[in-house]
Structure 1
Amino acid sequence: MGRQDIHNFDMPVLCRNCEVRHGGLCGALDADQLLTLSRHTRMVRRPAGDELIADDTEITRYANLMRGVVKLSKMLEDGRQQMVGLQFAPDFLGRLYATQNRVTAEAASEVELCMIPREALEKLVAEHPALEHRLLEQTLRELDEARDWMVTLGRKTAGEKVASFLYMVALHIDPLNRERKTIIFELPLSRADIADFLGLTIETVSRQLTLLRKDGVISVENSRRFTIPDLTRLQGRCG
């Protein structure tokens, strides 16, 4: 048995069976470090619609998103709400070193989360620079994606916005199958949520989805199950 096999054997069972571990924050940890972290973590499942984080509340724990989709939103003083982002496995949920949550996080689909107390994770980050580096990489990736999305919202046509949204979901919703040419997924948002996210009306979203379906770029079953037969073709409709 090689050294890597021994490390895998010593790794916590939960971590060995984790499908997204290598892509998330835990990918920066070895077996001993994962064992230390696992003493503080717990797995939870939440149904679609559950509030996971409330805006302007104290941060007491973080989470690694293992499965499902989380939508992030901001609430205005008059009660209006604006969706500002989506998170997919293996994204990190929370803002490291902050004291207050800055967004509301809600389960857009059924989600599975690996919950980590704030003190435990911040202590591990301080002791292991590779973990801090991994979290910084994720933060910078999210920043790049937010800037790209600003271009989508500010400059693209309605058709390009809807195509860009579907392309983003297709790329991220299943981290184990991102290289496949044909992607099948359950749409995690309602038409109303998509319209809110894209700054369009529900009617416009529905009309653009119909055009994509008629052109053979997508197929839709039961209004929520989407098939993208050729991801490159969808990308071509994103502008």
Structure 2
Amino acid sequence: MASCDTCLVRNRAICAALDNREIAALSAMGRRRSVTAGESLIWEDDDSLLVANVIEGVLKMTTSTADGREQIVGVAYPSDFIGRPFSQTSQTSVVALTDARVCVFSRNDFDRFAREHPELEHKLLERTLAELDRTRAWMMLLGRKTASEKIATFLLDMSDRFGNVGCTTLHVPAQRFTLPFSRQQVADLLGLTIETVSRQFTRLKIDRVIGLPSRREVEVIDRHALTELAG
């Protein structure tokens, strides 16, 4: 329970719907786990054995084609929930993009607990619907937006997801953050070539919309201009 009291994402994760007594019961079922960059936590098409809250770090959700090509279909950030409750099989692989810490639960134990706590089930439904909205927005991005709009939208999303949350109602986007993706991964994620991604980043830097202190670091200099470019 002490670890829950000091948890960085306590007020944003799905367990925020629970009271202290329920948090203690859920905590007794789980365990903290550290995952190193590149390490797999869940495997596509395997039995769905665990679910988890992301405490720190960033993880990717991927699917693979028959010939082994990988496609990133989602990204999990601190306070996100990963895994498939109430499902026998994992639909995606989950791999750490950065060193991460997660709070892991047996999927069967979590399913049973969720059925007994409607507030938690309701929070899961809210998260599922929010993920559906993000997926629809991503379909719009991939299908209709230009390369410059895609990059601008992507950077705004990164800024929002890495923003500081002082409480449940106040959100401040991050002005400076480190991308968990390589340029090639950004290209794959947005349906672009790596050359196009590099050109767009360079153009935004020249126009003083963003700064690039290093290859992975991004500083948002002109958020209004970036928002305009995102369409």
Q: Structure 2: which amino acid aligns with 1:235?
A: T
The answer for the alignment partner of 1:24 in structure 2 is 13
Query: How far apart are 1:227 and its partner, in Å?
Result: 1.0
Task: Please state if 1:69 is matched with 2:58.
Answer: yes
Task: Please state if 1:192 is matched with 2:181.
Answer: no
Q: Which runs of 5+ in 1 are unaligned?
A: 1-11
Task: Please state if 1:38 is matched with 2:27.
Answer: yes
Report the RMSD for the aligned CA atoms in angstroms.
Answer: 1.4
Q: For the structure 1 residues 174 and 47, does the alpha-carbon distance in structure 2 shift closer, same or farther, using more than 3 Å as the test?
A: farther
Task: Please state if 1:203 is matched with 2:195.
Answer: yes
Query: How far apart are 1:147 and its partner, in Å?
Result: 0.3
Query: How far apart are 1:40 and its partner, in Å?
Result: 1.4
Task: Please state if 1:15 is matched with 2:4.
Answer: yes
Question: What is the TM-score normalised by the length of structure 1?
Answer: 0.91
Whether the 8 Å contact between 1:181 and 1:229 is mirrored in structure 2 is no
The answer for the alignment partner of 1:218 in structure 2 is 210
The answer for the alignment partner of 1:52 in structure 2 is 41
SS at match of 2:159: helix
Q: What is the distance in 1 between the residues matched to 2:128 and 2:63? A: 19
Query: How far apart are 1:204 and its partner, in Å?
Result: 0.4
Whether the 8 Å contact between 2:54 and 2:79 is mirrored in structure 1 is yes
Query: How far apart are 1:119 and its partner, in Å?
Result: 2.0
Q: Structure 1: which amino acid aligns with 2:194?
A: I
Query: How far apart are 1:45 and its partner, in Å?
Result: 1.3
Query: How far apart are 1:50 and its partner, in Å?
Result: 1.1
Q: For the structure 1 residues 66 and 18, does the alpha-carbon distance in structure 2 shift closer, same or farther, using more than 3 Å as the test?
A: same
Whether the 8 Å contact between 2:184 and 2:194 is mirrored in structure 1 is yes
Whether the 8 Å contact between 2:35 and 2:101 is mirrored in structure 1 is yes
Alignment of structure 1 residues 84-233 onto 2, 5 Å: 84-176=73-165, 179-180=171-172, 183-233=175-225
Whether the 8 Å contact between 1:182 and 1:231 is mirrored in structure 2 is no
Whether the 8 Å contact between 2:165 and 2:172 is mirrored in structure 1 is no
Q: Structure 2: which amino acid aligns with 1:112?
A: R
Whether the 8 Å contact between 1:181 and 1:230 is mirrored in structure 2 is no
Q: What is the distance in 2 between the residues matched to 1:143 and 1:52? A: 23
Give identity over the alignment, percent. 39
Question: How many positions carry a matched residue from both structures?
Answer: 228
Query: How far apart are 1:73 and its partner, in Å?
Result: 1.2
Whether the 8 Å contact between 2:164 and 2:174 is mirrored in structure 1 is no
Select between 137-146 and 15-24 the one with higher mean Cα deviation: 15-24
Query: How far apart are 1:51 and its partner, in Å?
Result: 1.3
SS at match of 2:212: strand
Query: How far apart are 1:148 and its partner, in Å?
Result: 0.1
Q: Structure 1: which amino acid aligns with 2:51?
A: Y
Query: How far apart are 1:181 and its partner, in Å?
Result: 5.7
Q: Which runs of 5+ in 2 are unaligned?
A: none
